[in-house]
A and B are shown apart, each in its own frame.
Chain A
Amino acid sequence: DAGITQSPRHKVTETGTPVTLRCHQTENHRYMYWYRQDPGHGLRLIHYSYGVKDTDKGEVSDGYSVSRSKTEDFLLTLESATSSQTSVYFCAISGTGYGYTFGSGTRLTVV
């Protein structure tokens, strides 16, 4: 997707290990979001950021932390991965007038 990239696209990790997902934008948007998407639950907000070093929790933030040291990068860390965190993770950015622009997603499997 133009202006927003997520890495890695796929990852398999073991239970108990830390994992960091990266979201990078080139749009200079202030707002950035991390969602997880699971069957039957749709998109659920994990954390979001409204500026450098300004972050807040979403509805499913337990077990996750985020950091934003630069406007363009928003990192999501699973402190100690569990099987319940197996999901597809989407980053989104928000400018003005057109809702959110989403990245292509990261498929994370915790074994």
Chain B
Amino acid sequence: GESVGLHLPTLSVQEGDNSIINCAYSNSASDYFIWYKQESGKGPQFIIDIRSNMDKRQGQRVTVLLNKTVKHLSLQIAATQPGDSAVYFCADEFGNEKLTFGTGTRLTIIP
């Protein structure tokens, strides 16, 4: 399958600030995208998803933006908290096939 990658391996943000994590995907046919959060010693946890017929989707303090023209996905976390420190993965899927994961970005929230 196609690979999904991340622009930045690490990101440090001051507590209370907003953070943006970026992801590039290569399969233009991908129609479903997910962001996962992985805390130390735990499995990845679903945060938010978006389908290719949408450009933006909001959750609680999180927003995912999808730009299909440039095959780019971003995760915005508002008013970051210490508990947001984790590794964040994007993943994509085409037509109910298997998800393909990026290598992850480590987000560190500075108190």
A19 to B28, CA, bound (A): 39
| Contact partners of A74 in chain B: CB under 8 A | none
| Contact partners of B34 in chain A: CB under 8 A | 99
In the complex, the answer to whether A99 meets B91 with C-beta atoms within 8 Å is: yes
Query: Which A52-111 residues have C-beta < 8 A from chain B?
Result: 58, 90, 92, 98-105
B10 smallest CB distance to A (angstroms): 13
Query: Which A6-44 residues have C-beta < 8 A from chain B?
Result: 33, 40-43
Contact residues on B (Cβ < 8 Å of other chain), bracket: 10 to 19
| Contact partners of A33 in chain B: CB under 8 A | 98
Contact of A41 among B43, B93, B103 (CB under 8 A): B103
| Contact partners of B36 in chain A: CB under 8 A | 99, 102
| Contact partners of A43 in chain B: CB under 8 A | 44, 89, 101
Query: Which B59-111 residues have C-beta < 8 A from chain A?
Result: 89, 91, 93, 98-99, 101-104
In the complex, the answer to whether B43 meets A103 with C-beta atoms within 8 Å is: yes
A2 smallest CB distance to B (angstroms): 11
Using CB atoms and an 8 Å cutoff, list the residues of chain A in contact with chain B: 1, 33, 40-43, 45, 48, 58, 90, 92, 98-105
Name 21 interchain pairs, CB-CB below 8 A, sorted by A.
A1-B43, A1-B45, A33-B98, A40-B103, A42-B89, A42-B104, A90-B44, A92-B43, A98-B46, A99-B46, A99-B49, A100-B46, A100-B99, A101-B46, A102-B43, A102-B44, A103-B43, A104-B42, A104-B43, A105-B41, A105-B42
5 tightest A-B contacts by CB?
Answer: A102-B43, A42-B103, A99-B34, A43-B101, A102-B44
